[in-house]
Amino acid sequence: MALPLLLAWLPAAHADPVASSTFDTGDDGWEVVSTIGYEGPANWSATGGHPGGLIWAQDPDTGAFGFAAPAAFLGNISAAYGHDLTFDIAAYQMPDQPTSWVGMRGTNGLELICFYDTPTSVYPNWHGRAVTMTEDAGWIRVSDGLPPTSAEFASVLASLDGLVILAEFVDGLQTDVSGLDNVILLPEPATSGLVLAAAGAALLGRARRQRTAPGD
Q: Find the CATH number of the domain harbouring 30.
A: 2.60.120.430
pLDDT above 50 (res 135): yes
Nearby residues of 79 by Cβ (< 8 Å), 6 or more positions away: 18, 187, 188, 191
Instruction: Determine whether 39 is exposed, middle or buried from the number of CB atoms within 10 Å of its CB (0-12, 13-18, 19+).
Output: middle
Q: What is the rounded CA–CA span in Å between residue 63 and residue 133? A: 27
pLDDT, tens only, 24-80: 999 999 999 999 999 999 999 999 999 999 999 999 999 999 999 999 999 999 999
Asked if the structure places residue 203 within a domain, the reply is: no
Asked if the structure places residue 198 within a domain, the reply is: no
Domain of residue 96: give its range: 7-189
Asked if the structure places residue 211 within a domain, the reply is: no
The structural domain count of the chain equals 1
Nearby residues of 185 by Cβ (< 8 Å), 6 or more positions away: 17, 18, 19, 20, 73, 77, 80, 83, 85, 133
Q: What is the rounded CA–CA span in Å between residue 207 and residue 215? A: 15
Asked if the structure places residue 207 within a domain, the reply is: no
Overall pTM surpassing 0.85 (yes/no): no
pLDDT above 50 (res 207): no
Asked if the structure places residue 155 within a domain, the reply is: yes
Asked if the structure places residue 202 within a domain, the reply is: no
Asked if the structure places residue 28 within a domain, the reply is: yes
Concatenated DSSP letters for 77-95?
A: -GGGTTSEEEEEEEESS--
Please compute Rg for the chain using Cα positions.
20
pLDDT at 216: 46
| Exposure of 110 in the CB half-sphere (CA atoms within 13 A) | 21
What sign for the dihedral angle of Cα 120, 123, 126, 131?
A: positive
Dihedral angle at the C-alpha atoms of 171, 135, 138, 64, nearest 10 degrees? Answer: 0
pLDDT, tens only, 142-171: 999 999 999 999 999 999 999 999 999 998
Asked if the structure places residue 195 within a domain, the reply is: no
Concatenated DSSP letters for 162-185?
A: EEEEE---STT-TT-EEEEEEEEE
